[in-house]
Structure formats: C-alpha cells, structure tokens
Amino acid sequence: SLRKVIFSLRPLDLDDLGLVPAVKRFLNEFNKDGNLIVEFRFFGREQRYKSVIEVAVFRIIQEAVNNVVKHAKASTLEIVLETQKTVIAASIRDDGVGFGTEMVEKAGGFGLQGIKERTALLGGDIRISSLPGRGTEITVKIPVQEGEIYGVS
C-alpha cells in the first residue's frame, strides 16, 4: 500500500519513461480488479515534455479517472491521449450516471476544480460535457511550445 501511495504522489514511470507509459501503467494498476472496462488509445509520437507539463497532464487524467470511480457508476471508461506538434489533448469519457448542465458550469468538486485549475495554469482549454443518464466527457487541450519538447522517448 505504501508503494501505491508513493506512485500516486509522483509516478516514477513519469520521470523515467514519460507521459504515455506512465498513463498506461496507472490504468493497468488502477483496473487490476477488472470492475470497469477501460480502453486507452494513444495517437501521435511518444515525446518527452517539460516535467511540469507531463505531471499536469498525468494528474488531469488521474483525477478524471478517480472521479469516474467515485461518482459515475460507469461500466466503461475510454481515455484518448493525443500529442501533436503544438498541443497535448486528453479525453476521458465514461458511460456513467452523468450530471446536469448546472453542475458542469459550477464544477464545484475538488476533482473537477483541480482539473480546471491545472488546465488553466498551462494556458489550456477544457470542455466538460455531461447529461444525466448519459455519462461524462472531459476534454483538455494543453498548448506546447517547441522548447518544451525533448524528443522521442
């Protein structure tokens, strides 16, 4: 359990291997019990980014996935991560209970608030779509400058 706590604070895979392998490992560890059908898709090139960017994107995905487990009552979860020349995009979608538009605008919980704040700190955009009975989708787009990319891992 101590290893789990340490990994959740700062996953070593993030430092050693980069964003994509760290997300893959998190999802594999997260879903060992198999209670949720988890699909991960990656598009683009596996590149290394400044640590602040990799940590923020990882934490956004981690918090969104944790929200699904805590609140959504979902049976399936889909995570799409895409790296392009000037942006990292992540989409987390579930088939859970969803919530109404007023909750999307408020996004008052610590989880959604943290996701919004991390996205804003990096100058990114966030879109939260949810309807009662139809699940939720969180999409973030984080801009990346040339000096923040360190090459293929």
Residue 17, pLDDT score: 85
Q: What is the pLDDT of residue 24?
A: 93
Question: For the residues 31-52, what does the mean pLDDT come to?
Answer: 89
Which of 20, 30, 23 is CA-nearest to residue 67? 30
**47-49 and 87-94 strand pairing:** unpaired
Name the residue with tokens 């898709």. Answer: 41
| Angle at the Cα of 63 from the Cα atoms of 62 and 69, rounded to 5 degrees | 95
- Please tell me what DSSP assigns to residue 148: G
Q: Which has the higher per-residue pLDDT, 139 or 66? A: 139
Residue 22 reports pLDDT greater than 50? yes
Computed over every residue of the chain, the mean pLDDT equals: 86
- Over residues 88-100, mean pLDDT: 94
Q: What is the DSSP letter of 86?
A: S
Confidence band of 153 (pLDDT split at 50, 70, 90): very low
The CA distance from 9 to 22, in Å, is 13
